[in-house]
Structure 1
Amino acid sequence: MSSHAITVAGYLSFLVLGIGLTVLAHRPASRIPTLSALFSRVMHSRTGRIAVIAWWAWLGLHLFSK
């Protein structure tokens, strides 16, 4: 198996996991928070806002730098 195939399989498994968690979070009486509820909770504190901005900057630097 080539490294390209492993990378694609990793991204696809991450995508399937994300979709599965979203479906589980939107069920009635689910204890799993939705992504919007999670970000809303994180953005209430100054530390959370700084962490989100730092994460976004790191992501942009590493993925979109080329």
Structure 2
Amino acid sequence: MPRRRLDFVGTPTGFRRAEGNPVPAEEAKDLFRQGMPWGAGATGEAERARPRGAIERLTQASRAFR
């Protein structure tokens, strides 16, 4: 399960315009939209840290039983 979660949260996503084209943060028209990619990046890293830690603990535990 942690590997599937890591795969899911590791899939690149982005903020898009209605036309479907990516919008770089520098081109956003206001501070809120400029900050959204930064907040999403921080959230994404935190979400990836949990399954990585779980995978590491499970790997160590499985090594102990060998």
Larger Rg belongs to: 2
Question: Do the two structures share a fold, i.e. TM-score over 0.5?
Answer: no
TM-score, scaled to structure 2: 0.39
TM-score, scaled to structure 1: 0.39
Quick one: higher RCO (CA 8 Å, sep 6+), 1 or 2? 2
